């Protein structure tokens, strides 16, 4: 009976150790996968949070620059709401265009009425 008990013990040990290893492996694998997923989701959340914080900081800086530019432009506004430096440049350009497009008035020369010949002809003396 001892021999059969020892034989049974030898046969059952590999089966039990295989069963225990497969049971242990089956229990560890899902636990490890859950742990890896948890760590990766926490790290991804922290990364996205830091990037969002960085973007919010950049937006605040850009808004501050925009408001300072707006205040500078508002200080240069005239009474009618135009920027003074632009107003002078626009007026100068408009005056140049008007001068180029306006018809030029020519005054009549004082020429004796008896001569209507073109200049350079010497018919008066003839």
pLDDT tens by residue, 76-106: 666 666 667 777 888 899 999 988 888 777 7
pLDDT above 90 for 51: yes
Q: Which residue shows structure tokens 């492996």?
A: 25
Pick from 91, 93, 73, 89: which is nearest to 81 by CA?
Answer: 73
Q: Which residue shows structure tokens 């830091």?
A: 50
Instruction: Answer positive or negative: Cα dihedral of 117, 119, 124, 126.
Output: negative
CA distance 68 to 85: 18
**pTM, whole model, 2 decimals?**
0.38
């Amino acid at each position: 009976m001892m021999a059969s008990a020892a034989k049974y013990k030898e046969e059952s040990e590999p089966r039990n150790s295989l069963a225990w290893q497969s049971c242990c492996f089956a229990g560890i694998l899902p636990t490890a996968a859950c742990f890896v997923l948890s760590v990766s989701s926490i790290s991804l959340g922290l990364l996205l949070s830091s990037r969002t914080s960085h973007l919010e900081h950049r937006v605040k800086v850009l808004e501050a620059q925009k408001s300072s530019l707006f205040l500078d432009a508002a200080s240069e506004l005239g009474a009618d709401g135009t920027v003074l430096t632009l107003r002078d440049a626009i007026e100068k350009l408009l005056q140049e265009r008007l001068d180029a497009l306006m018809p030029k008035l020519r005054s009549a020369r004082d020429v004796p009425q008896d001569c209507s010949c073109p200049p350079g002809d010497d018919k008066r003396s003839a």
